[in-house]
Structure 1
């Protein structure tokens, strides 16, 4: 299944390719096997296999085999590695970086992007977003969440605006929450709190 180029960074061939590259180039993991990569990027194994072959042929990845398992990582010797990482930080980087930061914070149950950045990631046309709206559900230490968002924002070059709500508050009726529910969202941690 082919997907359209992501509107946040239309330089990538597809949204799937951008997710795969983000997992490879922005992950805290030193290397990933192809099964892990497929799962983390939400792509079919065959798609990951083909894309990894292209990236290996282009010299962007290096590979290590252990039995039948193939482990890949960004090629530190390629002059393209850092520019690709920099481009991914600005375009696809917020999701894996926020996931890494927020998963270590006690009290965070669910987190997702909403607003214009999420809309562009989901293929809705519009102007390029200047900031990123993040909903955090749970009862975390507010200052710890704000500091994590500042760190990620510094890396991706966009301000991250967290809204923190308890699960009970998220269930209330309001114009703001109705708009969030009816708009595109991108999961960061856990499942979305509504279908």
Structure 2
């Protein structure tokens, strides 16, 4: 849908993360992209009028351009395609006891380029000892925004380190980090 996965991650961080604006270094870190790539993508998006820029000394801060007629449609596309990652990250970071999180299942597989039917839901593994109701509530809020049910599974670090058929399947399938690194890396 987007020119590249990197561009989609960059746009998702700008349009969906809840940050008012991000400097290019923050954006590179949050999107998992090299600074040079972010610099080029931001230039293209500024030229297209999708972003606006503010400079403070040498620092460049960018944000979605509220005056662009493309901002709303791009945000809507991001919500459905790349939205769960930054939205879940923002929600789950606020919950005490969350040590990490990642997507798995069919939604993660489609994000990683595997062909298949459109996913019905989004599976998220939350690692830690959070209040389950807080995780379920956060998942519901994100699901409401992206138009798909978000199905959380919560495991402690000890549980995720054990052997099971379910975890073997998760480890051998595509996953997408949401918070932190994958627990088996």
Question: Normalized against structure 1, the TM-score is what?
Answer: 0.92
Of 67, 75, 79, 2:69 maps to 79
Task: Provide the aligned C-alpha RMSD in A.
Answer: 0.9
Of 32, 40, 44, 1:50 maps to 40
Of 104, 113, 116, 1:123 maps to 113
Shift of 1:40: 1.0
The residue number in structure 1 matching 2:104 is 114
Distance 1:128 1:117 in 2: 8
SS state at 2:30 partner: helix
Shift of 1:172: 2.1
The residue number in structure 2 matching 1:146 is 136
Shift of 1:134: 0.6
The residue number in structure 1 matching 2:8 is 18
Shift of 1:50: 1.1
Distance 2:167 2:173 in 1: 10
The residue number in structure 2 matching 1:194 is 184
4+ residue segments displaced more than 2 Å? none
The residue number in structure 2 matching 1:41 is 31
Residues 175-194 of structure 1: matches in 2 within 5 Å?
175-194=165-184
The residue number in structure 2 matching 1:133 is 123
Gaps of at least 5 residues in structure 1 are: 1-10
- Aligned pairs, number: 185
> What are the Cα deviations for residues 106-130 of structure 1, in whole angstroms up to 9, with x where unaligned?
1111111000111111111111111
SS state at 2:11 partner: helix
Of 92, 95, 101, 1:102 maps to 92
The residue number in structure 1 matching 2:51 is 61
